[in-house]
Amino acid sequence: MESNQEVTGFVKAVGKKIVNGIGQEILLRGVGLGSWLLPEGYMWHLPEQGDRPRRIEKMITDLIGDSKAAEFWDLYYKRYISKEDIQQIAAEGFNSVRVPINARFLIEDGEPLRIKGERLLLIDQVIDWCRQCSLYVILDLHGAPGGQTGANIDDSENDKPELFTNESNQRLTIALWRMLAERYKDEWIVAGYDLLNEPLPNYFAEYNDLVMPLYKDIIQAIREVDSRHMIILEGVHWATDWTIFNEVVDHNLMLQFHKYWNNPDTESIQKFLDKREELQVPIFMGEGGENNNDWFVGAFQLYEDHDISWNFWTWKKLDSVNSPCSVNKPEGWQQLIDYLQGGSKPDPQSAERILWTYLDNLSLESCTYRPEVINALFRRPSVRIPAIFYDYKGAGESFGLGKQADHSLDFRVKDGVDIRFVEDTRNIPNFAHMKGEVWKAEEWMYVQLAPEDWVSYTFRVPAFSVSNAYRIELYIRTKQGGAVTVSLDGSPVFTATTKEDDWELVQVPLPFGLKTGRHKIVLSAQVMAASIQWIRIFY
């Protein structure tokens, strides 16, 4: 496997940028290894009664007994993420992974700090694979001792953020990070330490003033043994509230936000961009996904255009269409769900068959692989780009206005480009989430260009998918006498028209191949207004 040349030496923060060991500016483009060392019930399609590691563990022990349960988990940790997974992540063009760790997975309960040595070897092993495959590693304390969120995502025992109410848990957290820093202080493939995942949702905001003091204590402990690794800090309320950050607390610091289920536009991340300017530190979209491919196409280009490192959540989960690897659901899986919800208990033989089939299905080769998800993240063919997700670099680079159109919506309205609802009856995906946020379904929307308006769409061709048979497809509507001109990398390619007021698919083969690297398509309206719903580049 050809190594990624930008993955070289210790990364560090230099002003608002991240640089590698030879001083080259880079963006981290990664994927999270969610549900590996901290199994999450929603990734298993389990109900609330199985929504976190301790509840999943109890279910499995109840079903097949202690001995078989121990065997199950040993196989689970070995198979969920394997060397083949790491090799595939690297081959797809990612340059980093984020490894979520549950403290309970790694340490015994109570003080003093006692490490489960065989578990630590699993982290050593994935770091070694990542070094071989040129992938930086971010170590993420996803579930701190006692729980930093008081929710299922940190394996909370009592649905309270007991990290902040119990000084023993704080001492354990500080000691755990000191141990990890001591162990990996010379390991350059480790990019940084993500101290706490998503601390304190708003309903526990009474503890917000305890976060920065704890961060500072952890940083002090780390710096006593490790001066080189980057420190990564997340805001409160699912990492989206950065009001706790008012100073630069370390010489090598990056701030992290998460983004789900809301508009992928500059306005939605402006507060993070402002904080970057204020503190002059790099910023990181450390967790985002769980939507659909159209949303990914918009959101991850947003990060790219604003020079924000990013990490997709997540690499693998059960029966999924929005992760690269979908674990095929075993026959009889519903029996586990029914049991958790008060139904009859499967007999041990049936439960073991279901669970071991699940283990067999975990390997990369047994999963259903979805390259379309990764194509959307990197905007590479074959990919469909909703027209509303034109590039994010602003006027003159990503769009231009000729005769100003009327504006009827607020989505990216500050750009001046007219975006309207599509009035049709297609099924619209539901993006509602338990946190109460709803993202406007992009299939209801289209861009309307006035004469001489234009919008641009960047996409990328990786070396392994170069083809001489690329095609461009548009879904457009033009007025009589009007047209949409398509230019590629500054050269006109073709002009498209449709019957007046009719939406039509227009597909044209490119008369030439495309080289590896970034390319830009520009769509412009000629003579009359034109409407564009999406553009597709494929071969």
CA atoms within 13 A on the CB side of 288: 31
pLDDT score at 409: 31
Say what the pTM is. 0.94
User: Is the Cβ–Cβ distance between 489 and 520 less than 8 Å?
Assistant: yes
Residue 194: the pLDDT is 99
pLDDT at 438 over 90: no
Give the pLDDT band of residue 416 (cuts 50, 70, 90): low
Give the pLDDT of residue 499: 87
Q: What is the rounded distance in angstroms from the CA atom of residue 387 to the CA atom of residue 454?
A: 11
Helices (H), 197-306: 211-223, 236-239, 266-279, 293-305
What was the pLDDT predicted at 263?
87
Q: CA-based angle 178:52:311, to the nearest 5?
A: 60
In the chain, the domains with their CATH numbers are 12-377 (3.20.20.80), 380-538 (2.60.120.260)
Can you tell me whether residue 533 is helix, strand or coil? strand
Q: What distance lies between CA 225 and its chain's CA centroid?
A: 31
Residue range 356-401, pLDDT digits in tens: 999 999 999 999 999 999 999 999 999 999 999 999 998 889 988 8
Whole-Å CA distances, 284 to 101, 296, 379, 398: 19, 16, 19, 23
Residue pair 6/26 in contact by the 8 Å Cβ criterion: yes
| pLDDT for 310 | 98
What is the spatial distance between Cα 422 and Cα 445, in angstroms, rounded to a whole number? 5
Q: What is the pLDDT of residues 254-297, one digit of tens each?
A: 999 999 988 899 999 999 999 999 999 999 999 999 999 999 99
Maximum CA extent, the chain? 78
| Residue corresponding to tokens 């309970």 | 104
Task: State the chain's mean pLDDT as an integer.
Answer: 92
Number of Cβ within a 10 Å radius of residue 166: 15
pLDDT at 248: 98
Of 225-234, 264-273, 457-466, least confident by mean pLDDT is 457-466
pLDDT number for residue 385:
96
Q: Where is pLDDT greater, at 512 or 392?
A: 392
